[in-house]
Structure 1
Amino acid sequence: MVDATVRLVDRGRVRADEGYVVDGASMGNASNPNPDHEMVEFVVWNAVIDHPEGTFLWDTGSHPDAGDGYWPEPLYEAFEHYDAADHELEADLNRVGYDVSDIDAVVMSHLHLDHAGGLSEFAGTDVPVYVHEEELKFAYYSAKTTEGSIAYLASDFDRDLNWEVVHRHRHTLAEEFELYHLPGHTPGVLGARIDLPGETVIVAGDECYVDANWNGEVPLGPGLLWSERAWFESLQTLKELKRRTGGDVLYGHDLERFESFGEGWNL
């Protein structure tokens, strides 16, 4: 196994209705026609994979001005990243011992606004930004037309970036560091398997927002699901990885799960 490290970077909290991320969480029925809505705090995170072949940044978090008009008001009302201003990418990397200038490559799990808001730090540089082909297409389609999803902002990613487009369902990024295409939440979600000495990290990302999506196999809410059929197939891909490796599965936004891994792996 390669002697790499995976260090988690806390990028703040989003407050939202649980029903967005767990299908049916707030649905009424005959005996309970008016169920309570539970507002939940979700984590926004990045990771730094410090590898002998380079230092990789996983995602870039939200734009620090998310709550000051950068995000459209309806989106911010639904997904309130209330401390985004306290979580600029450079400052958060500094807190865990890195600078933006240390990053050799960026991997974008997908291009939603809570993941792509720091890409401006890499505009005009030669730092490669890995993204799946289907994600890049859908992001531009969504941001530049009235079709697709409202969760993409052109100002996040329509920049002079050194795109490295992933075309296949699996892509070896570095030794023992493999990307997996996990469509469902969006057409082009990327996850990863990172094999470290004595342990494996499986990055599920937003394929699984929270534990209920993984353990209960409950889909995301309809507003966050591009394709339920593709989502279920991607979930089984991850579960097979878990069976084969016994690895730790890192979800996209589950605060308790995120905190359970401390600062990361092999540190």
Structure 2
Amino acid sequence: MKKTKVYLLDGGSMALDRSYLYLNAGLTGDERFPVYGVLIDHPEGRFIFDTGFDFGHTCETVPFTKPSQTPVQTIPGQLDLLRVRPSEITHVINSHYHIDHCGGNKHCSHATTICHKCELEAFRFPQESEKLGYSDTSFAPHLRDQPADDALGSGELDIFTPRFETLTGDQEIAKGVYLFETLGHTAGHYSLMVKLAHRRPMLFTADACYSQKNLDMMCIQAGNRDEDQTRASMQRLKDLAELHDADLFFSHDAESYANYQKAPYAYT
């Protein structure tokens, strides 16, 4: 049987002041950090967890993040390194729908999109303070045209449209591929763990924890919907890593990222 492989898809980088990256820690000055996606080539399909940012949209809406991205660092460019077409992606999984995690979704138009039920609701009807973060609607431009009383259903797995599957709670979405609720940064944030044959499990924090430094300091970043939940989710990631003997892969950690193997290299 085909073995699961994991590829890290380099999506470029952005920059923010450390006062945002390390809330109330007294740190200042710009810090540049990576943005990346995760391709899971699995016997049950090809899954991408997060798709980075769209350069044009990011430059237009949040130019202060100083985005840097080459054509090779787009989803099509990264997949081309692996001789994979965007149309061959079967599922896109989004940790959440902030612009630096869903900008490449639109390229995978044949894929089923998986997210937390509460995250899809937050994206459809963002709070005033969240509208900038949820401003990239390119992957589902008509989603906000749905009436507010259009119920998503109450089951554990709900089909919203032919392209969306919404989940709640922790889920194993394919053999050895797990989504863990790590709420707080957004209403429906998920982190991802993948079990492989020849190494320790890979636990991708997404924005429940930006970096090893955030974790060491137990210091959250700014821009969270619920700060207490975010702190609890950071602790949950520490506990999950210990429980599963997993390696943590941080979402926006330049120092750690330098030692990660990027596509076309595969973790197996």
Please state which band the TM-score falls in when normalised by the shorter chain.
Answer: 0.7 to 0.9
1:201 is matched with: 202
2:165 is matched with: 164
Q: Deviations over 1:35-68 (max 9, x none)?
A: xx32111101011111111111111111131355
> 1:87 corresponds to which letter in structure 2?
Q
Matched, 1:58 2:49: yes
1:130 is matched with: 114
Cα distance between partner residues in 1 of 2:58 and 2:115: 26
1:140 to 108, 124, 129: 124
In the alignment, structure 2 segments of 5+ residues that lack a partner are 143-160
Q: How does 1:223-242 map to 2 (within 5 A)?
A: 224-242=223-241
2:134 is matched with: 152
Cα distance between partner residues in 2 of 1:180 and 1:20: 25
Matched position secondary structure for 1:40: strand
Q: How does 1:82-97 map to 2 (within 5 A)?
A: 82-83=68-69, 87-97=73-83
Check whether the contact 1:111–1:157 (CA below 8 A) recurs between aligned residues.
no
Check whether the contact 2:58–2:99 (CA below 8 A) recurs between aligned residues.
no
Q: How does 1:65-84 map to 2 (within 5 A)?
A: 65-66=56-57, 68-69=59-60, 72=61, 75-77=62-64, 79-83=65-69
> 1:116 corresponds to which letter in structure 2?
C
Cα displacement (A) at 1:90: 0.5
Cα displacement (A) at 1:150: 2.1
Cα displacement (A) at 1:234: 1.2
> 1:228 corresponds to which letter in structure 2?
E
2:12 is matched with: 12
Cα distance between partner residues in 2 of 1:184 and 1:84: 32
Cα displacement (A) at 1:205: 0.7
Matched position secondary structure for 2:258: helix
> 1:159 corresponds to which letter in structure 2?
P
Matched, 1:115 2:101: yes
Q: When the two structures are superposed, what TM-score results if normalisation uses the length of structure 1?
A: 0.84
> 1:232 corresponds to which letter in structure 2?
R
Q: Deviations over 1:119-139 (max 9, x none)?
A: 22234x3x2100111111111
Check whether the contact 1:64–1:87 (CA below 8 A) recurs between aligned residues.
no
Check whether the contact 2:87–2:108 (CA below 8 A) recurs between aligned residues.
no
Check whether the contact 1:181–1:191 (CA below 8 A) recurs between aligned residues.
yes
2:31 is matched with: 40
Cα distance between partner residues in 2 of 1:177 and 1:111: 20
2:148 is matched with: none
Matched position secondary structure for 2:256: helix
Q: Deviations over 1:70-124 (max 9, x none)?
A: xx2xx221x221336663321122124422122111111110011111122234x
Matched position secondary structure for 1:238: helix
Matched position secondary structure for 1:199: coil
Matched, 1:189 2:189: yes
Cα distance between partner residues in 2 of 1:113 and 1:133: 18
Cα distance between partner residues in 1 of 2:89 and 2:178: 18
Check whether the contact 1:8–1:47 (CA below 8 A) recurs between aligned residues.
yes
Check whether the contact 1:207–1:231 (CA below 8 A) recurs between aligned residues.
yes
**Cα separation, partners in 2 of 1:206 and 1:260, compared to 1, 3 Å:** same
Check whether the contact 1:209–1:254 (CA below 8 A) recurs between aligned residues.
yes
> 2:86 corresponds to which letter in structure 1?
V
**Cα separation, partners in 2 of 1:229 and 1:245, compared to 1, 3 Å:** same
Check whether the contact 1:15–1:82 (CA below 8 A) recurs between aligned residues.
no
Matched position secondary structure for 1:260: coil
Matched, 1:219 2:220: yes
**Cα separation, partners in 2 of 1:146 and 1:220, compared to 1, 3 Å:** closer
